[in-house]
């Protein structure tokens, strides 16, 4: 019986740690998305939308948009728990 209780406790701690790490990863993805959007907007103001660097930052921004959306969808439990 004691072994079963310890296994339950350990699995709960592992799940808690996984949720914390997942939530931190989601927060990092959102922060990266916001920073890339700021950089893309600066490039657009400086060089215009058709400049290759602006297009590159817009591509990176769309990648981070997708990553942060996936992170948000995958971490609903963590967001509810910590958010």
pLDDT tens digits, one per residue of 11-50:
667 777 777 777 777 778 777 777 877 887 887 888 888 8
Tally of structural domains, the chain: 1
> Does residue 4 carry a pLDDT above 60?
no
Q: What was the pLDDT predicted at 61?
A: 76
Supply the range of the domain harboring residue 37.
Answer: 2-82
Q: How high is the pLDDT of residue 20?
A: 74
Q: What is the pTM of this model?
A: 0.48
Q: SS3 string of 16-44?
A: HHHHHHHHHHHHHHHHHHHHHHHHHHHHH
Closest CA to 59 of 80, 37, 42, 81: 37
Counting residues of the chain whose pLDDT is more than 70, the rounded percentage is: 72
Look at 25 and 83; give whichever has higher pLDDT: 25
């Amino acid at each position: 019986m004691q072994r079963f209780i310890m296994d339950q406790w350990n699995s709960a701690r592992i799940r808690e740690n996984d949720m914390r790490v997942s939530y931190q990863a989601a927060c990092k993805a959102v922060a990266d998305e916001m920073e890339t959007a700021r950089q893309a907007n600066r490039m657009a103001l400086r060089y215009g939308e058709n400049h290759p660097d602006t297009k590159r930052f817009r591509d990176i921004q769309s990648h981070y948009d997708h990553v942060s959306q996936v992170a948000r969808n995958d971490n609903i439990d963590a967001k509810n728990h910590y958010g």
